[in-house]
């Protein structure tokens, strides 16, 4: 994720005003204990965004199954926000995921999307709050 840290944020004037773009990247949760693949699709014509978080991998080797949808996304200027929902299973425990993701576009033509993930996992063991970050590129 550090590779794109020095890329300038996209200004509102540099944002595409039409068309679509697909982004792929990685998300990291906590202090890197869990990673996942991230995909997003931006529709600049109607200022919407959607996607998913999938292929979760715990660094301790515990298998993690499930998908989390990124939905109800809105692009405002050169920033966005969206809702998260889905389910994950690990170590015999299933958790329902809800929360949000928000971030900015970077690069001269919105080539990069970064994001902050704030979510809660509800399971029979209780509620756990997690945070993370993600970086995706076209």
| Domain assignment present for 33 | yes
**DSSP characters for 39-100?**
EEEEETTTTEEEEEEEEEEETTS-BEEEEEEEEEEEEETTEEEEEEEEEEEETTEEEEEEEE
Query: Residues 2, 85, 112, CA angle at the centre, nearest 5°?
Result: 30
Q: Are strands 79-90 and 64-76 parallel, antiparallel or unpaired?
A: antiparallel
Buried b (16+ CB within 10 A) or exposed e, 99-113: bbbebbbbbeebbbb
**Residue 77 clears pLDDT 90, i.e. is over it:** yes
| Domain assignment present for 111 | no
| Domain assignment present for 99 | no
| Domain assignment present for 51 | yes
Give the integer Cα–Cα distance in Å for 60 and 91: 12
**Residue 78 clears pLDDT 80, i.e. is over it:** yes
| Domain assignment present for 135 | yes
| Domain assignment present for 47 | yes
Name the pTM for this structure.
Answer: 0.93
Both structure tokens of 111: 């080539």
Total domains in the chain come to: 1
**Residue 128 clears pLDDT 70, i.e. is over it:** yes
Query: Residues 99, 104, 108, CA angle at the centre, nearest 5°?
Result: 155
pLDDT tens readout for residues 14-57 = 999 999 999 999 999 998 999 999 999 999 999 999 999 999 99
Span 91-104, average pLDDT: 95
| Domain assignment present for 109 | no
| Domain assignment present for 108 | no
Query: Residue 119 is inside which H or E element, if any?
Result: strand 112-123
pLDDT-based confidence at 61, cuts 50/70/90? Answer: confident
Distance of CA 82 to the CA centre of its chain: 9
Which residues span the domain enclosing 3?
Answer: 1-10+17-81+128-138
């Amino acid at each position: 994720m550090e590779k794109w840290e020095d890329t300038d944020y996209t200004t509102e004037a540099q944002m595409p005003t039409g068309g679509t773009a697909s982004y792929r990247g990685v998300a990291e949760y906590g202090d890197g204990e869990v990673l996942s693949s991230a995909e997003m699709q931006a529709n600049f014509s109607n200022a919407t965004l959607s996607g998913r978080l999938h292929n979760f991998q715990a660094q301790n080797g515990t298998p993690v199954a499930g998908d989390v949808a990124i939905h109800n996304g809105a692009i405002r200027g050169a920033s966005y926000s969206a809702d998260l929902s889905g389910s994950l299973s690990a170590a015999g425990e299933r958790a329902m995921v809800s929360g949000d993701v928000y971030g900015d576009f970077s690069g001269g033509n919105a080539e990069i999307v970064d994001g902050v993930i704030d979510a809660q996992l509800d399971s029979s063991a209780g509620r756990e709050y997690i945070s993370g970050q993600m970086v995706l590129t076209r």
